[in-house]
A and B are shown apart, each in its own frame.
Chain A
Amino acid sequence: MSDLLTVRGLRLGFGKTEVVHGVDLQVLEGPYGLGVIGESGSGKTTIGRAVLRLHPALDGSITYRGCDVLTMTRVELSAYRREVQLVFQDGDGALDPRMSVQSAIAEPLAIHRTVARGERRDRVAALLAEVGLGSDLLARYPHELSGGERQRVVIARALALEPKLLVLDEPTSALDVTVQERVLQLIERLREHRSLGYILISHNLAVIDRLSESCVVLYQGAVVERGRTRDLLTTPLHPYTRALRAAVPELGVGRPPSTSRLTDGPPQTSSLLQPAGQGCSYADRCPLAVKMCRSQTPVLREVAGREIACHRAEDSLSL
């Protein structure tokens, strides 16, 4: 299968601070999901924005179906943004409070002039039906919708231009579990019907597990583990992936309290200012860290059918 999107050596920053240090990503032609896992501050949202060229790249390349995204002209970029759409976590913030559902979904059709004015109304109703909402919502405003309805409207708006690739940034994190379940089912259905490729950004491992073929784990702006989603989540190898996996609450009671996971949290902004390349960024939290981890930065290498950036990957295997 060929690549829909390829990202190589992407480096991103804010001002003089580099926050994403050389990330590679690959999304195959749909239906295909790439999961991006990471905590707040890991750079996952910035990467999603950079894919749409909403955030400038310091270095690296982004290739969409053979075309270099970073050197696209305005006209090319406009065409690219028809095919690649972003869905935010917060359906509330993503919708203009003064626009009805009808106008919100019709707006991209009007801007990109892909559908004649007279046909827009029907198209909007069809999109709304596709995300499981009735046309009675067309005249409503965002504040009159529930969280789940709002997120469906955001998805319908993203689908209006028949995209090939979606960037889903925490699409269900703001929703109750029952509503989340229905949105997950919707994404599952859409990916098959429309052969969608997507980048699914989430900190929820169960959501990543359900909706992605492969995934990467980000820690402080670098990929620490990459591979097939099922392998990564059933037998995580990188100590950070293991910590994430162990932190997921499992259904049921009587689990012994987890031990040794309490630390004073990931270092805050100050450490981001340090140049990358001074040892492993996870060493301070890592139970397996040895001297070498603080002096040499581990690079991604293949271990047990996946890529992992850890000096102690082999030792992790035997744990």
Chain B
Amino acid sequence: MMLEVRDLRISYRDQVVASVPTLDLEPGQVLGIAGESGSGKSQTALALMGLTRYANGVVSGSMVLDGRELLTLSPRQWRLVRGRDIAMILQSPRAALNPTMKLGALFSRTLRLHGMDKEERGPRMVQALAEVVLDAEILDRYPHEISGGQAQRFAIALVAALRVKVLIADEPTSALDVTVQAEVIDVLRNLRNRHGTAIIFISHDLSVIGELADAVMVMRDGAVVEQGSAESIFNQPTQEYTRMLLAAIPVIGGRSR
């Protein structure tokens, strides 16, 4: 197992906001985490990124990536893991991009900070952009000069260039139009197929999760309600709450006027 999480508990001032008994991930596997606002899904993501401490949160349990325990890492050690081994893309990709830097400088700097040689950076950038279907001329633009879909694909290009092992995608398509959402999902699928990147895909919408996930975890009020293969969750949900989440998805042709 590449990533093994056991008895993860995230708390703020002695109040537990999320607990995940088990979460396993193999290379190339996509795990969908579904839940409403306040379910603890984003808190779980922050813990996996080692960011909880910066919000004065406490994490207990164990998170092992390729045999290495992450919970005991120092902030300095975390900086080498974060972005390189485990990376995250967010609902608003533009917010993740420094608005004062051109995308080329931003891309190059990210690769440099993770120790990539100057000679290697250029070809790696061009290749990664091609993988997410972006023209290299985008490197000469600022974040505000590109569309939301392009910004999200650019963020995924960074992930591809660094050969990240685990990508956490927190509502990566919720702010996007449907056709753009479909494009971003295609890009994530390519990333997984080409580099074997494991993806934790977080969304309130199970229909989007169904596009990509091999396994699904349903969370509510900080606890895991149900988890299993995507097929079993979609076809034979055992919990009432999962059934309700599934029923809430509006379907075309469901109740037409």
Contact = CB atoms under 8 A, between A and B. Distances in A.
Given A176-B36, A253-B210, A253-B213, A264 B254 contact: no
B211 A265 contact: no
B40 interface: no
Interface in A190-212: 203-207, 209-212
Nearest to A234: B253
Interface string B165-194: 000000000000111111101110100000
A180 B148 contact: no
Given A204-B250, A209-B254, A176 B133 contact: no
A244 B178 contact: yes
A273 to B, nearest CB: 15
Interface in B229-248: 230-231, 234-235, 244-248
Contact of A261 (B36, B183, B231): B183
Contacts of A234: 252-253
Given A206-B250, A258-B186, A247 B36 contact: no
B256 A230 contact: yes
A213 interface: yes
Contacts of A248: 178, 252
B252 A178 contact: no
B252 A264 contact: no
Interface in A228-278: 229-230, 233-234, 243-255, 257-258, 261-266, 268
B63 interface: no
A265 B147 contact: yes
A250 B235 CA distance: 13
Contact of B207 (A180, A249, A261): A249
B92 to A, nearest CB: 13
A268 B137 CA distance: 14
Given A39-B179, A203-B178, A180 B248 contact: yes
B134 A253 contact: no
Interface in A147-162: 147
Contact of B250 (A33, A210, A253): A210
Contacts of A268: 146-147
B255 A40 contact: no
A39 B175 CA distance: 11
A279 B204 CA distance: 40
A213 B186 contact: no
Contacts of A229: 256-257
B149 interface: yes
Contacts of B235: 252
Interface residues of A, number: 48
Contact of B178 (A211, A247, A265): A247
Nearest to A148: B37
Interface in A1-60: 33, 39-40
Contacts, number: 133
B256 A210 contact: yes
Contact of B186 (A180, A205, A262): A262
Contacts of A257: 186, 189
A246 B181 CA distance: 11
Contact of A203 (B148, B177, B187, B231): B177
Nearest to A285: B179
B249 A177 contact: yes
A251 B135 contact: no
B255 A210 contact: yes
A68 interface: no
Given A206-B250, A251-B246, A244 B179 contact: yes
A179 interface: yes
A249 to B, nearest CB: 4
Given A263-B133, A264-B134, A184 B250 contact: yes
A181 interface: yes
A211 B204 contact: no
B71 to A, nearest CB: 30
Nearest to B233: A253
A247 B252 contact: no
Contacts of B210: 249-253, 255
Interface string A132-145: 00000000000000
A230 B248 CA distance: 20
A179 B213 CA distance: 23
- Give 7 nearest A-B pairs by CB, closest first: A206-B250, A247-B182, A39-B177, A249-B207, A181-B248, A176-B204, A247-B178
Interface of B: 36-37, 133-135, 146-150, 177-183, 185-187, 189, 204-208, 210-211, 213, 230-231, 234-235, 244-257
Given A146-B37, A180-B250, 4 more contacts: A178-B244, A206-B249, A206-B250, A212-B257
